[in-house]
Amino acid sequence: MNEEPTVNASWLPQDRVEASSTENASGSSLVPVVEPEPELWVNPWDIVLCTSGTLISCENAVVVLIIFHNPSLRAPMFLLIGSLALADLLAGIGLIVNFVFAYLLRSEATKLVTVGLIVASFSASVGSLLAITVDRYLSLYYALTYNSERTVTFTYVMLILLWGAAICIGLLPVMGWNCLRDESTCSVIRPLTKNNAAVLSVSFLLMFALMLQLYIQICKIVMRHAHQIALQHHFLATSHYVTTRKGVSTLAIILGTFAACWMPFTLYSLIADYTYPSIYTYATLLPATYNSIINPVIYAFRNQEIQKALWLVCCGCVPSNLSQRARSPSDV
């Protein structure tokens, strides 16, 4: 009962391959048949995921280093952006490590550890996005008391809770909640069980619904603030309309990008299991990794303070137009 090893990503369901290797031995077959050695085949989808993980790691490492080495970036907003960048950095490293272990060091232990790291990292990434949304809502709703010691304490509490929950979720496969001994319970991501994947998917949908509700409230506050500023400064109605539309467009891009990246894989995880072709898993998982590539662009590199720090690191100067740009109600 020897099984031929198949080279595939260790955390995706392996497709069933029917191998018909029975040969009829005739009486005159005296010449020994030399079977060709199996060639090492690398799945192109795994190469794309590994490349995506490399880009994610490099991009988010820049954000983490900038926030870590700049003492002025210690406000609650930058702590949450740093948390998001750190989670995405770990997710990128997890994708790279998974690729290496899948083709060089295949074992149940490495399989559980790499999947646990990836699940924990992406869970922390989504949780950080929700925390950033909550922080943005509070900064607008409680504009006068936002920069207080209580806000910093609340931010640390959010970070402890989201990272604690993410670590616990990542440890579930390692602690025994996996399908290695019962393949019939496997989800589209092996060795996660179908129940585990369903819980993660439902949790994501609930967090997305909460983010949607918060962004709707943020949109209303931005429109109200823009209208008040326009009345105070006697702006024209067209200026108020342009400013409000820019803020609404920014919020739509943020939420739309998040949904477009994660929703396909979330819904697919709910309806599919290990019997489905792995190409569907790859096709829905890859856009989810792109969210970690886009996050630094949306949340970090668009921030004026991070832009200044990045300019100082790169060329030791800050452009005059960047240092003089004022923050508008559309900068949400």
Instruction: Round to whole Å and give the CA distance between 321 and 139.
Output: 26
CB 63 within 8 A of CB 81: yes
CA dist 227 → 205, 217, 241, 262 (Å):
33, 16, 9, 34
What is the number of H-type helices and E-type strands within the chain?
Answer: 9, 0
State CA 243 to chain mean position distance. Answer: 30
Instruction: Round to whole Å and give the CA distance between 256 and 224.
Output: 23
Q: Which domains does the chain have, with CATH numbers?
A: 44-178+191-312 (1.20.1070.10)
pLDDT of residue 2: 45
> In sequence order, what are the beta bridge partners of 193?
186
CB 161 within 8 A of CB 122: no
> In sequence order, what are the beta bridge partners of 186?
193
pLDDT in tens, the chain (332 residues): 444 444 445 556 554 433 334 344 443 334 444 444 444 588 899 999 999 999 999 999 999 999 988 888 888 889 999 999 999 999 999 999 999 988 888 788 888 999 999 999 999 999 999 999 999 888 888 877 777 777 889 999 999 999 999 999 999 988 888 888 888 888 998 888 999 999 999 999 999 999 999 988 988 887 777 667 666 665 555 554 555 566 667 778 888 899 999 999 999 999 998 889 989 999 999 999 999 999 999 988 888 888 888 877 777 666 766 655 544 443 55
Length of the chain counted residue by residue: 332
Please identify which residue in the block is written with the tokens 């967090």.
207
Please identify which residue in the block is written with the tokens 């490349």.
51
Instruction: Round to whole Å and give the CA distance between 50 and 29.
Output: 47
